[in-house]
């Protein structure tokens, strides 16, 4: 049965920067190993397969500590905040 009501997604704690810190660590580890961090992160986020992330500097084990929806929320939030700042 199709609902016409909008579902509410519970937000992360706005004071938590765990997802952000882990993303930056993983990004740097991927760059260090010569990978394109954006495509590797997209591969991980869309499939859930941690082998898209290098094990260098414990990046793979770190990324699996954060739920993929938290990563997406962090990315979208940061992106939209940057757009909003540029409009001011």
Q: Is the pLDDT of residue 16 over 60?
A: no
Q: Provide the whole-model pTM.
A: 0.78
* Total number of domains in the chain: 1
List the one residue out of 39, 44, 36 whose CA is nearest residue 67: 44
End-to-end CA distance of the chain: 43
Q: Which domain holds residue 41?
A: 18-87
Q: Which of 15 and 82 is assigned the larger pLDDT?
A: 82
Confidence (pLDDT) at 4: 80
Confidence (pLDDT) at 3: 72
Residue 22 falls within a domain, yes or no?
A: yes
Residue 27 falls within a domain, yes or no?
A: yes
Residue 83 falls within a domain, yes or no?
A: yes
* Digit-coded pLDDT (tens) for 19-30: 999 999 999 999
């Amino acid at each position: 049965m199709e609902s016409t009501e909008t579902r509410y997604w519970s937000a992360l704690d706005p004071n938590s920067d765990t997802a952000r810190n882990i993303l930056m660590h993983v990004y740097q580890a991927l760059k260090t190993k010569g990978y394109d961090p954006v495509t590797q992160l997209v591969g991980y986020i869309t499939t859930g397969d941690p082998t898209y992330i290098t094990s260098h500097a414990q990046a793979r084990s770190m990324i699996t500590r954060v739920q993929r929806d938290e990563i997406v929320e962090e990315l979208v939030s940061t992106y939209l905040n940057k757009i909003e700042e540029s409009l001011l």
